[in-house]
């Protein structure tokens, strides 16, 4: 028996090599490369250099070592075809029975601070994927192992059964092809990102022209073909409902600045499917504000939101937005949580609290709520990286892919269209309400005042009902508030309902055929109105 062991991750290779020597008996030959060979030799394992197999030295700083006919013919030769075996004999080549390989750490490299483009490209493995794919193709005769977790179970099966079953070989081959497919997916995604969002790493190699996503050629960010690699993080207890199975995966399009990429659960029950959806919604809201922000999310919609200099007061204003709906919700905060704030949060029943960090004293306070999940997301303050991750949404038979609805505050240029211009205080509240509105399901209406949401009308089939719902939620507080609408008012009726409740100013995209009627209604009520020219549907 002949085996090739060439791995970057050397976990368990000594035990594996020793097991292969026992399984194959006295005639087992193990060939290896570079650091793997040195590790095996240091452990006293009999191993030969891959150059002894190929009769050719490793060249080009190790770039070429396994790319050789003596390697690939030995892996790919079909044992059931006499002509294949005869060709090996005629050329004095030997069959390879086992390939153990894992690849250069490309993903780990690109996530290191300060890594250069050249360094990243150098970590693209070529010989390894070729050898893995060859062994996986010929899995009926060649055992392929790419994951240290498979070493022990495979050896045990071999020792107990005297062979590795066809079913196990197919399973390992499928795992190997997925491994190389995922590896290639990460590389392609990285190169696309560098072409579109060049960093200091790519300056000087022709990738130094920045451009907004909407101006990029379609093939740069939305190529004709692209793949997403999913890595399972955990099995869920169930999905949206108890009869649905579910799991959580991390994807290659994300990174550290995502819920899945940097989340650390500090305490509480296991996260549910719905918890993760709502926590992600809360994360998206609070990272959209540069000032201290607190949001309370229920069923993927914010029901309370406020910003301010004093975090405790900001939380209290967010809770006051809809204290009834807040029960059993998710709290998102974009600043560290201290013991004082933790004590106030503990007075209300929540499922999850998510923040960049929690002080040790805050954790102690919230530990009394044993089922409360505390989630720390250290990279929560990196909205730029998050905005660059395209959104995938499954539809029957395919996916919709789009860039995220992420518009920096300085790019919002409202135009006054009413006779009365908003006051300074109204304009501040309008811009706050407009940003809040982007996170509410359409049709979305938000009433706000003094940097706090007072009433939300989410997800109604018509805008009039959304206004009525927002006004109802705000109650008497609607008087003196401002209104944001995620899309234009098709008729004046919605604005008239808001005016009757005492709303003093409104912000909306404009663009309706009846804009003149809506503006006239605002003027009649003495309301200030501004248009943004930007719609924020969220379906």
Q: Which residues are catalytic?
A: 137, 299
Please give the DSSP secondary-structure letter assigned to residue 439. Answer: T
Counting beta carbons within 10 angstroms of the beta carbon of residue 148, is it exposed (0 to 12), middle (13 to 18) or buried (19 or more)?
A: middle
**DSSP bridge pairs for 375:** 265, 354
Counting beta carbons within 10 angstroms of the beta carbon of residue 218, is it exposed (0 to 12), middle (13 to 18) or buried (19 or more)?
A: exposed
Residues sharing a CB contact under 8 Å with residue 215, sequence separation 6 or more, in sequence order: none
The gap between the terminal CA atoms of the chain, to the nearest Å, is 59
Task: For residue 359, give Cα distances in angstroms to 81, 295, 342, 380.
Answer: 67, 20, 9, 16
Please give the DSSP secondary-structure letter assigned to residue 208. Answer: -
**DSSP bridge pairs for 140:** none
Q: Tokens 């740069």 — which residue?
A: 220
Do 296 and 452 contact (CB within 8 A), yes or no?
no
């Amino acid at each position: 028996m002949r085996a090739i062991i060439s791995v970057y991750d050397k976990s368990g290779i000594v035990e594996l090599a020793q097991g292969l020597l026992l399984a194959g008996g006295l005639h087992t030959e193990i060939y290896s490369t570079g650091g793997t060979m040195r590790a095996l030799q240091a452990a006293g394992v009999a191993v030969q250099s891959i150059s002894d197999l190929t009769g050719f030295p490793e060249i080009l700083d190790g770039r070429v070592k396994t790319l050789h006919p003596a390697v690939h013919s030995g892996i790919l030769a079909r044992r059931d075809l006499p002509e294949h075996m005869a060709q090996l004999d005629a050329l004095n080549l030997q069959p390879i029975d086992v390939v153990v390989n894992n690849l250069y750490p490309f993903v780990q490299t690109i996530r290191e601070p300060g890594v250069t483009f050249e360094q990243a490209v150098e970590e693209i493995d070529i010989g390894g994927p070729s050898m893995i794919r060859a062994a996986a193709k010929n899995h009926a005769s060649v055992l392929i192992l790419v994951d240290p977790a498979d070493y022990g179970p495979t050896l045990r099966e071999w020792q107990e059964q005297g062979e590795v079953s066809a079913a196990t070989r197919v399973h390992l081959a499928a795992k190997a092809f997925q491994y190389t497919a995922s590896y290639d997916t990460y590389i392609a995604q990285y190169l696309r990102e560098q072409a579109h969002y060049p960093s200091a790493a790519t300056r000087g190699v022709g990738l130094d022209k920045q451009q907004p996503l909407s101006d990029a050629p379609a093939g740069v960010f939305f190529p004709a073909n692209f793949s997403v690699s999913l890595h399972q993080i955990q099995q869920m207890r169930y999905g949206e409902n108890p009869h649905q199975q579910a799991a959580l995966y991390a994807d290659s399009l994300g990174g550290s600045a995502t819920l899945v990429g940097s989340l650390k659960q500090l305490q509480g029950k296991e996260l549910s499917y719905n918890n993760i959806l709502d926590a992600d919604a809360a994360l998206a809201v609070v990272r959209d504000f540069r000032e201290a922000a607190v949001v309370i999310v229920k069923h993927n919609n914010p029901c309370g939101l406020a910003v301010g200099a004093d975090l405790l007061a900001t939380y209290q204003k967010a809770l006051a937005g809809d204290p009834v709906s807040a029960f059993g919700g998710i709290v998102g905060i974009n600043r560290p949580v201290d013991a004082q704030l933790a004590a106030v949060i503990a007075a209300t029943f929540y499922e999850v609290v998510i923040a960049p960090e929690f002080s040790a004293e805050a954790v102690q306070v919230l530990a009394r709520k044993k089922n409360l999940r505390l989630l720390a997301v250290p990279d929560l303050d990196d909205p730029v990286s998050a905005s660059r991750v395209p959104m995938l949404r499954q539809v029957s038979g395919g996916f919709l892919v789009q860039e995220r609805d992420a518009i920096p505050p300085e790019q919002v240029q409202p135009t006054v269209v009413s006779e009365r211009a908003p006051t300074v205080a109204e304009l501040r509240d309008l811009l706050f309400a407009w940003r809040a509105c982007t996170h509410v399901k359409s049709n979305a209406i938000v009433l706000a005042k003094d940097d706090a949401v007072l009433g939300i009308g989410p997800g109604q089939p018509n805008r009039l009902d959304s206004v009525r719902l927002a006004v109802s939620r705000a109650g008497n507080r609607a008087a003196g508030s401002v209104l944001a609408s995620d899309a234009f008012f098709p008729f004046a009726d919605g604005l008239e309902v808001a005016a009757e409740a005492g709303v003093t100013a409104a912000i909306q995209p404009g663009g309706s055929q009846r804009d003149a009627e809506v503006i006239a209604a605002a003027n009649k009520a003495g309301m200030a109105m501004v248009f943004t020219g930007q719609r924020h549907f969220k379906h």
